[in-house]
Structure 1
Amino acid sequence: MARGKTQIKRIEDATTRQVTFSKRRKGLLKKAFELSVLCDAEVALIIFSPSGKLYEFSSSSATSTIERYQKSIKNRPTSKQMDLERLQHFEEEVAIQRKKIELLEETTRKLLGDGLDSSSIDELQQVERQLERSLSIIRSRKILLFCERINQLKEEGKILRKKNAELREKYEERQLELSIGQQFSSLEQVKEVETQLFIGLPNR
Protein backbone atom coordinates (compact mmCIF):
# COMPACT_ATOMS: atom_id res chain seq x y z
CA MET A 1 0.00 0.00 0.00
CA ALA A 2 1.39 3.39 -1.01
CA ARG A 3 2.41 5.77 1.73
CA GLY A 4 0.49 9.02 1.83
CA LYS A 5 2.18 12.33 1.15
CA THR A 6 3.61 13.88 4.33
CA GLN A 7 2.40 17.38 5.02
CA ILE A 8 5.38 19.69 5.58
CA LYS A 9 4.65 21.42 8.87
CA ARG A 10 5.76 21.18 12.48
CA ILE A 11 4.80 17.92 14.13
CA GLU A 12 2.97 18.77 17.32
CA ASP A 13 3.35 15.43 19.11
CA ALA A 14 6.78 15.34 20.78
CA THR A 15 7.23 11.56 20.53
CA THR A 16 6.28 11.47 16.86
CA ARG A 17 8.50 14.46 16.23
CA GLN A 18 11.50 12.73 17.86
CA VAL A 19 10.94 9.52 15.87
CA THR A 20 10.65 11.45 12.62
CA PHE A 21 13.82 13.42 13.45
CA SER A 22 15.76 10.22 14.10
CA LYS A 23 14.66 8.64 10.82
CA ARG A 24 15.23 11.73 8.68
CA ARG A 25 18.60 12.40 10.35
CA LYS A 26 19.87 8.94 9.47
CA GLY A 27 18.65 9.29 5.88
CA LEU A 28 20.25 12.72 5.54
CA LEU A 29 23.59 11.52 6.89
CA LYS A 30 23.47 8.53 4.54
CA LYS A 31 22.80 10.81 1.52
CA ALA A 32 25.68 13.10 2.54
CA PHE A 33 28.02 10.13 2.74
CA GLU A 34 26.89 8.79 -0.65
CA LEU A 35 27.33 12.21 -2.23
CA SER A 36 30.89 12.55 -0.93
CA VAL A 37 31.88 9.05 -2.12
CA LEU A 38 30.11 8.89 -5.48
CA CYS A 39 30.88 12.44 -6.62
CA ASP A 40 34.16 13.04 -4.75
CA ALA A 41 32.57 16.12 -3.21
CA GLU A 42 33.65 17.87 -0.03
CA VAL A 43 30.62 17.60 2.24
CA ALA A 44 30.11 18.89 5.78
CA LEU A 45 26.79 18.37 7.53
CA ILE A 46 25.88 19.82 10.96
CA ILE A 47 22.60 19.01 12.72
CA PHE A 48 21.30 20.11 16.12
CA SER A 49 18.38 18.14 17.51
CA PRO A 50 15.45 19.92 19.17
CA SER A 51 17.08 19.12 22.49
CA GLY A 52 20.37 20.70 21.37
CA LYS A 53 22.33 17.51 20.68
CA LEU A 54 24.94 17.80 17.89
CA TYR A 55 25.15 15.41 14.98
CA GLU A 56 27.69 15.98 12.21
CA PHE A 57 29.26 14.39 9.17
CA SER A 58 32.29 15.56 7.21
CA SER A 59 34.04 13.92 4.28
CA SER A 60 37.36 15.47 5.41
CA SER A 61 37.27 18.00 8.25
CA ALA A 62 34.23 20.03 9.22
CA THR A 63 36.44 22.88 10.43
CA SER A 64 38.41 23.13 7.17
CA THR A 65 35.20 22.91 5.14
CA ILE A 66 33.64 25.72 7.18
CA GLU A 67 36.76 27.87 6.72
CA ARG A 68 36.70 27.22 3.03
CA TYR A 69 33.04 28.20 2.93
CA GLN A 70 33.72 31.46 4.80
CA LYS A 71 36.53 32.37 2.40
CA SER A 72 34.32 31.62 -0.55
CA ILE A 73 31.57 33.84 0.85
CA LYS A 74 34.01 36.72 1.35
CA ASN A 75 35.39 36.44 -2.20
CA ARG A 76 32.01 35.93 -3.82
CA PRO A 77 30.73 39.17 -5.37
CA THR A 78 27.31 40.29 -4.26
CA SER A 79 24.49 40.87 -6.72
CA LYS A 80 25.05 44.62 -6.41
CA GLN A 81 28.75 44.25 -7.19
CA MET A 82 27.90 42.04 -10.16
CA ASP A 83 25.46 44.65 -11.45
CA LEU A 84 28.11 47.34 -11.07
CA GLU A 85 30.65 45.20 -12.93
CA ARG A 86 28.21 44.55 -15.75
CA LEU A 87 27.35 48.26 -15.92
CA GLN A 88 31.03 49.19 -16.02
CA HIS A 89 31.68 46.63 -18.77
CA PHE A 90 28.70 47.96 -20.75
CA GLU A 91 29.94 51.54 -20.40
CA GLU A 92 33.38 50.51 -21.62
CA GLU A 93 31.86 48.79 -24.64
CA VAL A 94 29.74 51.87 -25.38
CA ALA A 95 32.84 54.10 -25.17
CA ILE A 96 34.77 51.81 -27.54
CA GLN A 97 31.92 51.72 -30.06
CA ARG A 98 31.51 55.50 -29.83
CA LYS A 99 35.22 55.99 -30.62
CA LYS A 100 34.92 53.62 -33.59
CA ILE A 101 31.91 55.55 -34.90
CA GLU A 102 33.70 58.87 -34.53
CA LEU A 103 36.75 57.48 -36.35
CA LEU A 104 34.58 56.16 -39.18
CA GLU A 105 32.74 59.47 -39.49
CA GLU A 106 36.02 61.38 -39.60
CA THR A 107 37.44 58.99 -42.20
CA THR A 108 34.28 59.32 -44.29
CA ARG A 109 34.46 63.12 -44.18
CA LYS A 110 38.08 63.05 -45.30
CA LEU A 111 37.31 60.64 -48.12
CA LEU A 112 34.59 63.06 -49.27
CA GLY A 113 37.09 65.93 -49.17
CA ASP A 114 35.84 67.62 -45.99
CA GLY A 115 37.92 68.45 -42.95
CA LEU A 116 41.28 68.25 -44.75
CA ASP A 117 42.51 71.67 -43.64
CA SER A 118 43.91 70.38 -40.37
CA SER A 119 45.32 67.16 -41.89
CA SER A 120 49.05 66.57 -42.07
CA ILE A 121 50.90 65.33 -45.15
CA ASP A 122 50.96 61.80 -43.79
CA GLU A 123 47.23 61.86 -43.18
CA LEU A 124 46.58 63.22 -46.67
CA GLN A 125 48.76 60.53 -48.18
CA GLN A 126 46.89 57.92 -46.20
CA VAL A 127 43.57 59.29 -47.48
CA GLU A 128 44.98 59.28 -51.00
CA ARG A 129 46.02 55.64 -50.66
CA GLN A 130 42.58 54.74 -49.35
CA LEU A 131 40.94 56.45 -52.31
CA GLU A 132 43.26 54.68 -54.73
CA ARG A 133 42.43 51.33 -53.15
CA SER A 134 38.73 52.16 -53.32
CA LEU A 135 39.00 53.19 -56.97
CA SER A 136 40.89 50.00 -57.77
CA ILE A 137 38.17 47.92 -56.14
CA ILE A 138 35.46 49.90 -57.95
CA ARG A 139 37.20 49.52 -61.33
CA SER A 140 37.67 45.79 -60.79
CA ARG A 141 34.02 45.41 -59.92
CA LYS A 142 32.94 47.49 -62.93
CA ILE A 143 35.12 45.43 -65.30
CA LEU A 144 33.67 42.25 -63.86
CA LEU A 145 30.12 43.53 -64.40
CA PHE A 146 31.00 44.58 -67.98
CA CYS A 147 32.41 41.12 -68.71
CA GLU A 148 29.33 39.45 -67.28
CA ARG A 149 27.08 41.74 -69.35
CA ILE A 150 29.09 41.08 -72.53
CA ASN A 151 28.85 37.32 -72.00
CA GLN A 152 25.15 37.68 -71.37
CA LEU A 153 24.68 39.68 -74.61
CA LYS A 154 26.70 37.07 -76.51
CA GLU A 155 24.44 34.32 -75.24
CA GLU A 156 21.36 36.36 -76.15
CA GLY A 157 22.86 36.96 -79.62
CA LYS A 158 23.37 33.22 -80.10
CA ILE A 159 19.77 32.55 -79.13
CA LEU A 160 18.49 35.27 -81.50
CA ARG A 161 20.62 33.96 -84.40
CA LYS A 162 19.32 30.46 -83.78
CA LYS A 163 15.72 31.70 -83.76
CA ASN A 164 16.38 33.76 -86.90
CA ALA A 165 17.77 30.70 -88.71
CA GLU A 166 14.74 28.65 -87.67
CA LEU A 167 12.37 31.36 -88.91
CA ARG A 168 14.28 31.67 -92.21
CA GLU A 169 14.09 27.91 -92.68
CA LYS A 170 10.35 27.91 -92.01
CA TYR A 171 9.90 30.86 -94.40
CA GLU A 172 11.77 29.07 -97.19
CA GLU A 173 9.73 25.91 -96.61
CA ARG A 174 6.55 27.97 -96.78
CA GLN A 175 7.65 29.68 -99.99
CA LEU A 176 8.44 26.31 -101.51
CA GLU A 177 5.00 25.00 -100.52
CA LEU A 178 3.34 28.07 -102.09
CA SER A 179 5.36 27.68 -105.31
CA ILE A 180 4.44 24.03 -105.62
CA GLY A 181 0.83 24.87 -104.91
CA GLN A 182 0.78 27.51 -107.63
CA GLN A 183 2.24 25.04 -110.15
CA PHE A 184 -0.42 22.45 -109.36
CA SER A 185 -3.09 25.15 -109.67
CA SER A 186 -1.83 26.14 -113.14
CA LEU A 187 -1.93 22.51 -114.33
CA GLU A 188 -5.50 22.16 -113.08
CA GLN A 189 -6.55 25.28 -115.02
CA VAL A 190 -4.98 23.94 -118.23
CA LYS A 191 -6.90 20.68 -117.87
CA GLU A 192 -10.16 22.47 -117.28
CA VAL A 193 -9.97 24.57 -120.50
CA GLU A 194 -12.97 23.71 -122.65
CA THR A 195 -12.36 22.83 -126.35
CA GLN A 196 -15.22 23.14 -128.94
CA LEU A 197 -15.11 21.22 -132.27
CA PHE A 198 -17.03 22.72 -135.25
CA ILE A 199 -17.89 20.77 -138.41
CA GLY A 200 -18.87 22.76 -141.45
CA LEU A 201 -18.87 26.42 -142.22
CA PRO A 202 -18.85 28.82 -139.36
CA ASN A 203 -22.05 30.70 -138.63
CA ARG A 204 -22.21 34.24 -139.81
Structure 2
Amino acid sequence: MVRGKTQMKRIENATSRQVTFSKRRNGLLKKAFELSVLCDAEVALIVFSPRGKLYEFASSSMLESIERYRKHTRNNVQTAHASVEQNMQHLKEEATIMMKKIDILEETKRKLSGEGLGSCSIEELQQIEQKLERSIRSVRARKSQAYMEQVEQLKEKEKVLVAENSRLSEKYGIGPEPPTLDQRAKPRMDLHRESQPQSYGESSSSSDVETELFIGLPEARIRRISPKLN
Protein backbone atom coordinates (compact mmCIF):
# COMPACT_ATOMS: atom_id res chain seq x y z
CA MET A 1 0.00 0.00 0.00
CA VAL A 2 1.40 3.37 -0.99
CA ARG A 3 1.59 5.88 1.81
CA GLY A 4 -0.01 9.21 0.97
CA LYS A 5 1.67 12.55 1.39
CA THR A 6 1.02 14.10 4.79
CA GLN A 7 -0.49 17.56 4.66
CA MET A 8 1.51 20.06 6.70
CA LYS A 9 -1.06 21.50 9.06
CA ARG A 10 -2.09 21.10 12.67
CA ILE A 11 -3.78 17.78 13.46
CA GLU A 12 -7.15 18.58 14.95
CA ASN A 13 -7.72 15.21 16.67
CA ALA A 14 -5.91 15.22 20.05
CA THR A 15 -5.25 11.45 20.10
CA SER A 16 -3.84 11.41 16.59
CA ARG A 17 -1.78 14.48 17.40
CA GLN A 18 -0.24 12.80 20.47
CA VAL A 19 0.53 9.60 18.58
CA THR A 20 2.16 11.53 15.75
CA PHE A 21 4.23 13.56 18.22
CA SER A 22 5.57 10.43 19.92
CA LYS A 23 6.50 8.75 16.65
CA ARG A 24 8.19 11.75 15.10
CA ARG A 25 9.94 12.72 18.34
CA ASN A 26 11.56 9.29 18.56
CA GLY A 27 12.53 9.50 14.90
CA LEU A 28 14.04 12.98 15.41
CA LEU A 29 16.10 11.84 18.40
CA LYS A 30 17.30 8.83 16.42
CA LYS A 31 18.34 11.02 13.49
CA ALA A 32 20.21 13.38 15.84
CA PHE A 33 22.11 10.45 17.35
CA GLU A 34 22.97 9.04 13.92
CA LEU A 35 24.17 12.45 12.72
CA SER A 36 26.49 12.83 15.72
CA VAL A 37 27.96 9.34 15.30
CA LEU A 38 28.28 9.13 11.55
CA CYS A 39 29.55 12.68 10.99
CA ASP A 40 31.35 13.29 14.32
CA ALA A 41 29.22 16.39 14.83
CA GLU A 42 28.30 18.09 18.07
CA VAL A 43 24.53 17.84 18.23
CA ALA A 44 22.22 19.24 20.89
CA LEU A 45 18.46 18.77 20.56
CA ILE A 46 15.76 20.21 22.81
CA VAL A 47 12.06 19.41 22.36
CA PHE A 48 9.08 20.47 24.48
CA SER A 49 5.86 18.55 24.16
CA PRO A 50 2.46 20.28 23.89
CA ARG A 51 2.05 19.66 27.63
CA GLY A 52 5.46 21.21 28.44
CA LYS A 53 7.46 18.05 28.98
CA LEU A 54 11.16 18.30 28.04
CA TYR A 55 12.94 15.87 25.72
CA GLU A 56 16.60 16.44 24.91
CA PHE A 57 19.64 14.86 23.33
CA ALA A 58 23.28 15.99 23.40
CA SER A 59 26.22 14.25 21.83
CA SER A 60 28.63 15.66 24.46
CA SER A 61 27.17 18.07 27.03
CA MET A 62 24.02 20.11 26.69
CA LEU A 63 25.37 23.02 28.77
CA GLU A 64 28.62 23.13 26.84
CA SER A 65 26.74 23.06 23.56
CA ILE A 66 24.44 25.88 24.73
CA GLU A 67 27.40 27.98 25.92
CA ARG A 68 29.17 27.39 22.65
CA TYR A 69 26.04 28.47 20.80
CA ARG A 70 25.76 31.66 22.87
CA LYS A 71 29.42 32.51 22.30
CA HIS A 72 29.06 31.95 18.58
CA THR A 73 25.94 34.12 18.51
CA ARG A 74 27.70 36.93 20.41
CA ASN A 75 30.62 36.82 18.01
CA ASN A 76 28.28 36.96 15.05
CA VAL A 77 26.41 39.88 16.57
CA GLN A 78 29.64 41.75 17.30
CA THR A 79 30.90 41.05 13.81
CA ALA A 80 27.62 42.26 12.37
CA HIS A 81 27.76 45.43 14.49
CA ALA A 82 31.35 46.06 13.46
CA SER A 83 30.41 45.58 9.82
CA VAL A 84 27.45 47.93 10.18
CA GLU A 85 29.61 50.57 11.87
CA GLN A 86 32.24 50.23 9.16
CA ASN A 87 29.60 50.63 6.46
CA MET A 88 28.14 53.65 8.23
CA GLN A 89 31.56 55.27 8.45
CA HIS A 90 32.18 54.60 4.78
CA LEU A 91 28.79 56.08 3.87
CA LYS A 92 29.53 59.17 5.98
CA GLU A 93 32.82 59.68 4.18
CA GLU A 94 31.13 59.30 0.80
CA ALA A 95 28.40 61.73 1.85
CA THR A 96 31.04 64.28 2.90
CA ILE A 97 32.83 63.95 -0.45
CA MET A 98 29.55 64.32 -2.34
CA MET A 99 28.64 67.44 -0.35
CA LYS A 100 31.99 69.00 -1.27
CA LYS A 101 31.43 68.19 -4.93
CA ILE A 102 27.94 69.69 -4.77
CA ASP A 103 29.33 72.87 -3.22
CA ILE A 104 31.94 73.14 -5.98
CA LEU A 105 29.27 72.64 -8.66
CA GLU A 106 26.99 75.23 -7.07
CA GLU A 107 29.83 77.74 -6.94
CA THR A 108 30.71 77.04 -10.58
CA LYS A 109 27.06 77.47 -11.54
CA ARG A 110 26.88 80.85 -9.79
CA LYS A 111 30.03 82.02 -11.55
CA LEU A 112 28.71 80.94 -14.94
CA SER A 113 25.54 82.90 -14.16
CA GLY A 114 27.64 86.01 -13.47
CA GLU A 115 27.34 85.90 -9.68
CA GLY A 116 30.14 85.88 -7.13
CA LEU A 117 32.84 87.00 -9.56
CA GLY A 118 34.46 89.43 -7.16
CA SER A 119 36.88 86.84 -5.78
CA CYS A 120 37.85 85.46 -9.21
CA SER A 121 41.28 86.10 -10.68
CA ILE A 122 41.91 87.07 -14.28
CA GLU A 123 42.75 83.47 -15.18
CA GLU A 124 39.50 82.22 -13.67
CA LEU A 125 37.52 84.89 -15.49
CA GLN A 126 39.15 83.91 -18.78
CA GLN A 127 38.30 80.26 -18.17
CA ILE A 128 34.68 81.18 -17.41
CA GLU A 129 34.54 83.29 -20.58
CA GLN A 130 35.91 80.43 -22.69
CA LYS A 131 33.37 78.02 -21.22
CA LEU A 132 30.53 80.41 -22.00
CA GLU A 133 31.76 80.92 -25.57
CA ARG A 134 31.92 77.16 -26.13
CA SER A 135 28.43 76.80 -24.71
CA ILE A 136 27.10 79.55 -26.98
CA ARG A 137 28.68 77.93 -30.04
CA SER A 138 27.15 74.59 -29.13
CA VAL A 139 23.72 76.17 -28.62
CA ARG A 140 23.88 78.02 -31.94
CA ALA A 141 25.01 74.91 -33.80
CA ARG A 142 22.16 72.90 -32.31
CA LYS A 143 19.70 75.68 -33.15
CA SER A 144 20.88 75.77 -36.77
CA GLN A 145 20.58 72.01 -36.99
CA ALA A 146 17.07 72.18 -35.58
CA TYR A 147 16.12 74.81 -38.17
CA MET A 148 17.52 72.70 -41.00
CA GLU A 149 15.67 69.62 -39.78
CA GLN A 150 12.46 71.61 -39.58
CA VAL A 151 12.95 72.96 -43.11
CA GLU A 152 13.60 69.45 -44.44
CA GLN A 153 10.47 68.19 -42.73
CA LEU A 154 8.43 71.01 -44.26
CA LYS A 155 9.86 70.25 -47.70
CA GLU A 156 8.99 66.59 -47.40
CA LYS A 157 5.53 67.52 -46.26
CA GLU A 158 5.17 69.89 -49.18
CA LYS A 159 6.23 67.17 -51.64
CA VAL A 160 3.56 64.90 -50.24
CA LEU A 161 0.93 67.63 -50.51
CA VAL A 162 1.99 68.53 -54.06
CA ALA A 163 1.81 64.90 -55.10
CA GLU A 164 -1.61 64.57 -53.53
CA ASN A 165 -2.74 67.78 -55.20
CA SER A 166 -1.51 66.51 -58.59
CA ARG A 167 -3.34 63.26 -58.10
CA LEU A 168 -6.56 65.06 -57.22
CA SER A 169 -6.10 67.46 -60.16
CA GLU A 170 -5.72 64.58 -62.60
CA LYS A 171 -8.65 62.78 -61.04
CA TYR A 172 -11.09 65.70 -61.13
CA GLY A 173 -9.64 67.60 -64.12
CA ILE A 174 -8.59 70.71 -62.22
CA GLY A 175 -6.06 73.24 -63.56
CA PRO A 176 -2.25 73.02 -63.26
CA GLU A 177 -0.65 72.44 -59.89
CA PRO A 178 0.47 75.43 -57.82
CA PRO A 179 4.22 76.29 -57.61
CA THR A 180 6.30 74.52 -54.99
CA LEU A 181 8.09 76.15 -52.08
CA ASP A 182 11.40 76.21 -53.97
CA GLN A 183 9.75 77.84 -56.97
CA ARG A 184 8.11 80.45 -54.77
CA ALA A 185 11.40 81.10 -53.03
CA LYS A 186 13.10 82.14 -56.32
CA PRO A 187 13.11 85.88 -57.03
CA ARG A 188 10.42 86.95 -59.41
CA MET A 189 11.72 88.13 -62.81
CA ASP A 190 8.48 89.52 -64.19
CA LEU A 191 8.98 93.01 -65.51
CA HIS A 192 6.12 95.43 -65.17
CA ARG A 193 6.79 98.10 -67.71
CA GLU A 194 4.88 101.28 -67.25
CA SER A 195 4.39 103.75 -70.05
CA GLN A 196 6.97 106.53 -69.81
CA PRO A 197 5.86 110.13 -70.51
CA GLN A 198 7.36 111.60 -73.66
CA SER A 199 9.97 114.27 -73.37
CA TYR A 200 9.16 117.82 -73.83
CA GLY A 201 11.04 117.95 -77.10
CA GLU A 202 9.06 115.04 -78.62
CA SER A 203 5.79 116.51 -77.44
CA SER A 204 6.61 119.88 -78.92
CA SER A 205 7.65 118.29 -82.25
CA SER A 206 4.32 116.49 -82.68
CA SER A 207 2.18 119.49 -81.90
CA ASP A 208 2.34 123.09 -83.01
CA VAL A 209 1.49 125.08 -80.01
CA GLU A 210 2.18 128.76 -79.81
CA THR A 211 3.70 129.61 -76.52
CA GLU A 212 4.60 133.20 -77.15
CA LEU A 213 2.64 135.93 -75.50
CA PHE A 214 0.62 137.99 -78.03
CA ILE A 215 -1.25 141.20 -77.41
CA GLY A 216 -3.71 142.47 -79.99
CA LEU A 217 -6.69 141.41 -82.10
CA PRO A 218 -7.23 137.72 -82.96
CA GLU A 219 -7.04 138.47 -86.73
CA ALA A 220 -3.55 139.85 -86.43
CA ARG A 221 -2.52 136.82 -84.40
CA ILE A 222 -3.90 134.47 -87.06
CA ARG A 223 -2.01 136.31 -89.81
CA ARG A 224 1.16 136.03 -87.80
CA ILE A 225 0.81 132.27 -87.37
CA SER A 226 -0.15 131.49 -90.96
CA PRO A 227 3.33 132.15 -92.48
CA LYS A 228 4.85 129.74 -90.02
CA LEU A 229 2.45 127.00 -91.03
CA ASN A 230 3.20 127.58 -94.69
**TM-score normalised over the length of structure 2:** 0.43
Of the two structures, which has the highest relative contact order with CA contacts closer than 8 Å and spacing of 6 or more?
Answer: 1
Of Structure 1 and Structure 2, which has the larger fraction of its residues in helix? Answer: 1
- Higher CA-based Rg: 2
Q: TM-score, normalized by length of structure 1?
A: 0.47
